[in-house]
Amino acid sequence: MPGAIYAEGLVKHFGDVKALDGVDLDVPEGTVLGLLGPNGAGKTTAVRCLATLLTPDAGRAVVAGIDVLAHPNEVRRSIGLSGQFAAVDEYLTGRENLQMVGQLYQMSAKAAKRRAGELLEQFGLADAADRPSKTYSGGMRRRLDLAAALVVRPPVMFMDEPTTGLDPRNRQALWEVIKDLVGGGTTLLLTTQYLEEADHLAHDICVVDHGRVIARGTSDQLKARTGGERVEVVVHERGHIAPAEEVLRAFAKGGGGATVEEHTRKLTVPVTGGAKLLAEVIRELDARGIEIDDIGLRRPTLDDVFISLTGHAAEVQDAAGDDAEKEDVK
Amino acid sequence: MTAVTEAAQLAPRPAGGVGQSIRDSLVVARRNLIRMTRIPEIVLFGLIQPIMFVVLFTYVFGGSIQVGSSISSQAYREFLMAGIFAQTVTFATAGAGAGIADDMHKGLIDRFRSLPMARGAVLTGRTLADLVQTALTLVVLAGVALLIGWRTHESFGKVLVGFALLLLLGYAFSWIGALIGLSVRTPEAATSGGLIWLFPLTFISNAFVDSNKLPTVFRHIAEWNPFSTTVQACRELFGNLPPGFKTPDAWPMQHPIWASIIWSVVILVLFRTLAVRKYRKAAG
């Protein structure tokens, strides 16, 4: 049985740019799929196709059991959109925005009003409910935007870079809200440029680049592909680099040496053995009188995964593809 | 699976049909009217411009423009007002275009397009709200016109019909504005793109001068211009045709009320169809 969000061979061109080049997705009910990729990779285009905002040139999509191309309006009853492309009206108050969205979801005026009140309470916006949303902080506006997507408690949600531009505290807060939501059984497709975000929220991750899915799996599976953990040590003085290197070599996996960054006095060595091994390293360094500023066991981040998969870091902007996605917002 | 079905809840099934279209349009119209109360500057500037035109034309050009056989400034003042009213309702179309372009730009149109709402309701709601604004502007403008000496010489009913024709023209034109708003990339482009074509439209017409005195080519354009027909109809309905005025022989000038209705309905149907189609495909 296909999942709550299912896509097969989605293709979309914008002029000469192939924004989607055969994307397959399958999100089981009640899970979160993170679409991860740099700007212009095609993440937004994929979501727009699934959310009935764009018609793909080829391929098939089924959302909540309904064929997206054949019955877009049926799909619209079952989805909620949030993120960069689905805004709220900044001149309307939070309450007016939610009421309007509720009514346009075909709720009665009364039901829409009641639901708006509930959501404002739930998202901590009750105090600001009757102020134009223009006066809201970035975090409040994102919460309102998310609330607008939840007016009818849709079984399937799409979020396009929900926390882009938020400060860390607000990002954390929004993550909690999203986790609660998913705990309630909602199926979620999330796009993000933040590897940490995908790591935090998604059960499965698809890495997208140039309109194609280049890797998929759980966060752990993707990390495992990139290689294991490593120990990083920052020594206090430059003179301690050489002896520290000697110590680390003894712990190195496969008998290799440590990588040294002279100017930051940082040594890195691939290891196996986890925290127990870290304690041994510290004891050994201490025994030799090597003073350290920092030491830690580092597991590969999705950043490392991304670089090893694509050959470039996730932040790199793909100018051509970025234009393509803008064009599609036109 | 059970958790999902318990927690989730679909939106009510859309009623469909005309009823839903009207309801959704009114919801969107309400939103746009609320916006107007929050940004009163826009309404205010929309008022200042026509008032400025009234004053400029009456006091700057008024003495030097001859209409009909009269050179009295009172005759020109009465002749002018229908032109200014019509210009006011058409210039309001730029607002519709800019508003829709702004919604596109900010992502609101995407929110609307993801909702199970009636096709076209976003645009109908916008144009209806603009119609309300236009009507208010006309009321204020008519007050100013009365203050500086404009008078009607026909029954109140006929005067009302004249204003109804003006609003119909304005509503039809706001769909041209909507189409422009959907076709450009930025609200700024919609504002300028929405205004440029209005200048030849309103000036190659009978709005400010007697079209009989225009060069031949311009005279023909002016006499068939949908804008001119509404102006001519209003002058008849307001009793504002100057003494000794010779009505041109062109059919729309001879039957201005019908011509005005036909033009407005044709523009309305044509541009509404185009705009709604454009909206549906807005981004692909």
* CA B236 vs CA A123, B69, B143, B240, B261: distances in Å: 60, 17, 20, 6, 14
Give B270 to chain A, closest Cα distance, Å. Answer: 23
**Within the 171-210 window of chain B, which residues sit less than 8 Å (CB to CB) from chain A?**
185
Identify which of A73, A88, A92 has the shortest CB distance to residue B34.
Answer: A92
Q: Which of A26, A24, A34 is nearest to A4 (CA)?
A: A26
Reported as a pLDDT band with limits 50, 70 and 90, residue A327 is very low
Do residues A159 and A178 touch, judged by C-beta distance below 8 A? yes
Share above pLDDT 70 across residues of chain A, in percent, rounded to a whole number? 91
All residues of chain B having their beta carbon less than 8 Å from the beta carbon of residue A89 are: 31, 35, 108
Do residues B206 and B83 touch, judged by C-beta distance below 8 A? yes
Side-chain-side CA neighbours of residue A175 (13 Å): 17
Quick one: average pLDDT of A219-227? 77
Identify which of A73, A78, A185 has the shortest CB distance to residue B14.
Answer: A73
Q: Which of B35, B76, B36, B42 is nearest to B59 (CA)?
A: B76
**Within the 80-139 window of chain B, which residues sit less than 8 Å (CB to CB) from chain A?**
104, 106-108, 110-117, 121
Do residues A77 and B115 touch, judged by C-beta distance below 8 A? no
All residues of chain A having their beta carbon less than 8 Å from the beta carbon of residue B7 are: 153, 155, 184-186
All residues of chain B having their beta carbon less than 8 Å from the beta carbon of residue A90 are: 106
Give B24 to chain A, closest Cα distance, Å. Answer: 6
Share above pLDDT 90 across residues of chain A, in percent, rounded to a whole number? 36
Residue of A nearest to B183 (CA): A330
Complex prediction ipTM: 0.85
A312-317's contacts with Cβ under 8 Å and 24+ in sequence apart are A312/A38, A314/A36, A314/A37, A314/A38, A314/A193, A314/A195, A315/A38, A315/A193, A316/A38, A317/A38, A317/A39, A317/A40
Q: What are the pLDDT tens digits along chain B (284 aa)?
A: 333 333 456 778 877 788 999 999 999 999 999 999 999 888 888 888 888 888 888 888 777 777 877 677 788 888 999 999 999 999 888 888 888 998 888 888 888 988 999 989 999 999 999 999 999 999 999 999 999 889 999 999 999 999 999 999 999 999 999 999 999 888 888 888 888 888 889 899 998 888 888 899 999 999 999 999 999 999 999 999 888 888 888 999 999 999 999 999 999 999 999 999 999 876 54
Ranked by mean pLDDT, the top range of A102-116, A312-326, B188-202 is: A102-116
Q: Which amino acid, one-letter code, is at B82?
A: A
Stretch (H or E) spanning B32: helix B17-38
The confidence score (pLDDT) of residue A255 equals 67
pTM, 2 dp: 0.81
Stretch (H or E) spanning A267: strand A266-270
Q: Rounded CA gap, A196 and A207, in Å? A: 13
> Does A81 sit within 8 Å of B111, measured CB to CB?
yes
The confidence score (pLDDT) of residue A319 equals 38
> Does A53 sit within 8 Å of B114, measured CB to CB?
yes
Q: Is the pLDDT of residue A224 over 90?
A: no
The confidence score (pLDDT) of residue B5 equals 34
Q: Does B30 touch chain A (CB under 8 A)?
A: yes
Give A153 to chain B, closest Cα distance, Å. Answer: 5
B239 vs A254, higher pLDDT:
B239
Q: Rounded CA gap, B32 and B26, in Å? A: 10
Q: What is the DSSP letter of B58?
A: I
Q: Does B12 touch chain A (CB under 8 A)?
A: yes
| A-B contacts at Cβ under 8 angstroms | 140
All residues of chain A having their beta carbon less than 8 Å from the beta carbon of residue B21 are: none
Do residues A53 and B110 touch, judged by C-beta distance below 8 A? yes
> Does A91 sit within 8 Å of B35, measured CB to CB?
yes
φ and ψ at A217, to 5 degrees?
Answer: 155, -175
Give B124 to chain A, closest Cα distance, Å. Answer: 14
Q: Is the pLDDT of residue A316 over 50?
A: no
The partner residues of A233 in beta bridges, in order of sequence, read A267, A295
Tokens of B252: 């729309």
The confidence score (pLDDT) of residue B2 equals 32
Do residues B48 and B91 touch, judged by C-beta distance below 8 A? no
Q: Return the sign of the alpha-carbon dihedral for residues A114, A117, A118, A119.
A: positive
Query: In this predicted model, what pLDDT tens digit does every residue of A26-52 receive, in sequence order?
Result: 999 989 999 988 888 888 899 999 999
Residue of A nearest to B108 (CA): A87
Identify which of B3, B20, B27 has the shortest CB distance to residue A30.
Answer: B3
Identify which of A79, A184, A329 has the shortest CB distance to residue B3.
Answer: A184
The confidence score (pLDDT) of residue A85 equals 57
The confidence score (pLDDT) of residue B284 equals 41
Q: Rounded CA gap, A11 and A23, in Å? A: 7
φ and ψ at A318, to 5 degrees?
Answer: -100, 100
The confidence score (pLDDT) of residue A162 equals 85
Q: Rounded CA gap, A278 and A15, in Å? A: 54
> Does A185 sit within 8 Å of B8, measured CB to CB?
yes
> Does B284 sit within 8 Å of A54, measured CB to CB?
yes
Quick one: average pLDDT of A303-319? 61
Q: Rounded CA gap, B206 and B210, in Å? A: 6
B16 vs A114, higher pLDDT:
A114
What is the DSSP secondary-structure string of B146-211? Answer: HHTT----S-HHHHHHHHHHHHHHHHHHHHHHHHHHHHSSSHHHHHHHHHHTHHHHHHSSSSSS-G
